[in-house]
């Protein structure tokens, strides 16, 4: 997985990662539907969505801040493009963590820029759901304790010698799985897109803006799943990486399909409980495993 792309590949990889990420979201949606005994859309529906929105009439609402309304779409695609290149170059996990946090601010910007109350509430919930990032901090700390590094390339080297972190740091993998689950649509922690908020922070972003947001979602899904596999399984060839991502999306779809969407309060409470458990685990790792 860790390699520096050749020049022409850099663009092709970015585009293919976006399309594969959208395909994964389509598989996710289809599986949820089948588990709930509905036919569901075809798995390429998210790709069709992106194309469909790109042909829709587009404008900026009169209540919106035009610069922020348009700029936030560019930033959303830009930050996940950056995360993708950090991933393929085996860069720092901290940078990807930073981009993940930046995405919360971008979601908030999406909501605030439109001037719509639904968008604003979606943006506010996005900030509340930052509680899901705290297990990620502990998870990253545990990885650092084991590997003595936060560079993806070093983490992969460690796993080549010592075996996958999925085995040696299983609770950390569970915590990171929970973090990814909180970013998946139709999940128990998807409070930013709850039905009572119409479409949450993206309610007013339609047409080309929504198509841009779909591009961002595809890239984000690809990067988050690839980071999970890189950090907890180790270096993988491209076919195994893609297969692993499909397995992960199946697990996520089952988690989303069999759990109802929680209220914001319950969502934050559960995530804080997980954080507490992870802190206990981190203390055990520090005191017992690596004193």
Please give the residue ranges that form the binding site for other proteins (CB under 8 A).
Answer: 4, 6-8, 10-11, 14, 54-62, 66, 70, 73-78, 81-82, 85, 89, 207-208, 211-212, 215
Q: How far is the CB of 204 from other proteins (least distance, A)?
A: 12
Q: Tell me if residue 260 falls in helix, strand or coil.
A: coil
C-beta closer to other proteins: residue 61 or 264: 61
Closest distance of CB 152 from other proteins, Å = 14
Long-range Cβ contact pairs of 265-268 (< 8 A, separation 24 or more): 267/129, 267/131, 267/132, 267/182, 267/188, 267/189, 267/191, 268/128, 268/129, 268/131
CB 61 within 8 A of CB 204: yes
Whole-number minimum distance, CB 137 to other proteins, in Å? 25
Alpha helices in 163-260 (DSSP H): 165-168, 170-183, 208-232, 238-257
R_g of the chain, CA atoms, integer Å: 19
| For the chain, counts of helices (H) and of strands (E) | 12, 0
Min dist CB 15 to other proteins, Å, is 9
d(CA 151, CA 124): 32
Cβ distance to other proteins smaller for residue 11 or 246: 11
Nearby residues of 135 by Cβ (< 8 Å), 6 or more positions away = 175, 176, 178, 179, 271, 274, 275, 278
- Closer to other proteins by CB, 222 or 232: give it: 222
- Measured from the CB atom, the residue of 76 and 179 that comes closer to other proteins is 76
Tokens coding 81 = 């493009």
Least separation, in Å, of the C-beta of 62 and other proteins? 7
Which of 58/157 has CB closer to other proteins? Answer: 58
Q: In angstroms, give the least distance from the CB of 106 to other proteins.
A: 12
């Amino acid at each position: 997985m860790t390699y520096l792309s050749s020049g022409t590949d850099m663009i092709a990889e970015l585009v293919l990662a976006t399309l594969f990420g959208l395909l994964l979201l389509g598989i996710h949606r289809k599986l949820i539907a089948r588990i709930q005994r509905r036919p569901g859309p075809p798995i390429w529906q998210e790709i069709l969505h992106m194309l469909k929105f790109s042909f829709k009439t587009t404008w900026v609402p009169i209540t919106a801040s035009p610069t922020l309304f348009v700029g936030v779409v560019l930033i959303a695609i830009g930050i996940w493009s950056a995360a993708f290149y950090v991933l393929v170059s085996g860069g720092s996990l901290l940078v990807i963590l930073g981009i993940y946090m930046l995405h919360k601010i971008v979601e908030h910007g999406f909501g605030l820029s439109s001037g719509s109350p639904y968008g604003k509430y979606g943006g506010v919930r996005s900030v509340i759901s930052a509680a899901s990032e705290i297990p990620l901090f502990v998870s990253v700390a545990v990885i650092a304790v084991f590997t003595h590094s936060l560079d993806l390339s070093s983490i992969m080297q460690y796993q080549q010698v010592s075996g996958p972190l999925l085995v040696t740091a299983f609770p950390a993998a569970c915590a990171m799985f929970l973090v990814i689950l909180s970013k998946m649509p139709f999940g128990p922690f998807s409070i930013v897109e709850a039905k009572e908020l119409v479409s949450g922070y993206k309610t007013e972003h339609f047409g080309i803006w929504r198509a841009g947001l779909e591009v961002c979602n595809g890239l984000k899904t690809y990067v988050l799943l690839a980071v999970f596999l890189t950090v907890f399984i180790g270096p993988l060839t491209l076919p195994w990486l893609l297969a692993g991502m499909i397995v992960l999306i199946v697990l996520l779809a089952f988690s989303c399909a069999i759990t109802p969407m929680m209220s914001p309060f319950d969502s934050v409470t559960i995530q804080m409980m997980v954080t507490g458990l992870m802190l206990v685990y981190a203390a055990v790792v520090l005191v017992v495993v690596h004193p």
